[in-house]
Amino acid sequence: MILKTYPLGLIGTNAYLLIDDESKEAVLIDLGGDFHLIKDELEKNNAALKYILNTHGHFDHILGERDAQQYFKVPVYVHEDDKYLVENLPKQLERFGFVANTLPPEKVITFTQNDIFKIGDKEIKVIHTPGHTPGSVCFLLDKMLFSGDTLFYTSVGRTDFEGGSFAKLSDSITQKLFKLDDDTDVYPGHDSKTNIGYEKKYNCYFGANNI
């Protein structure tokens, strides 16, 4: 499995490109900006993009998706509880003080907890982790967790935006993510990677050493 990280868009949100080297199938997780680096990587590997998955519906994770969807002709997926955020992309931009000149992807398909996406013969599992937004999810592929804005290196996502809940975030992290194996690598929506074992100890909100 090839994994590439691209910090893109207005606030450098991580887009993750997974390419299965056997089947040459590829999956993109979040796309906050221009897709051309991703296109180059796909061509270099002779791979075909299968779909775009979203960890949640915030503007900085979806800004490049309309263009990418039109170019690659792939479906865009988001959890059913965050579909309204994707559809309200221009409103979100306005609210955060940016120019509202980007349209959302045209067709968005929803998924729920426990849905599974395939890449080659591997499975990407959906873990619903509400809190940062109602429809925030993490994607688990073997020992790689794509955590969106739920869990960061020594930190967690904000819960003061519309639809946020610190109580739900707390449950999502302690009851779901911290039950994963300690050596699960965590690839967040912003900044650098971490792993579950490290966060269980040192996370500023939920780490054992800080409580």
Q: Which residues of this chain interact with Zn ion, rule CB under 5 A?
A: 58, 60, 149, 189
Q: How far apart are CA 210 and CA 201, in angstroms?
A: 8
Identity of the residue, 55 or 69, whose beta carbon is nearer to Zn ion in the bound complex: 55
Residue 158 Cα distances to 20, 32, 69, 151, 199, angstroms: 33, 18, 28, 10, 17
Sign of CA dihedral 82, 144, 124, 61: positive
CB of 57 to Zn ion, least distance (A): 8
CB of 174 to Zn ion, least distance (A): 20
Identity of the residue, 96 or 202, whose beta carbon is nearer to Zn ion in the bound complex: 96
CB of 191 to Zn ion, least distance (A): 10
Identity of the residue, 105 or 189, whose beta carbon is nearer to Zn ion in the bound complex: 189
CB of 60 to Zn ion, least distance (A): 5
Identity of the residue, 118 or 193, whose beta carbon is nearer to Zn ion in the bound complex: 193
Residue type, 169: L
Check if the beta carbon of residue 172 is closer than 8 Å to that of residue 159: no
Q: Which residue has the tokens 């056997």?
A: 22
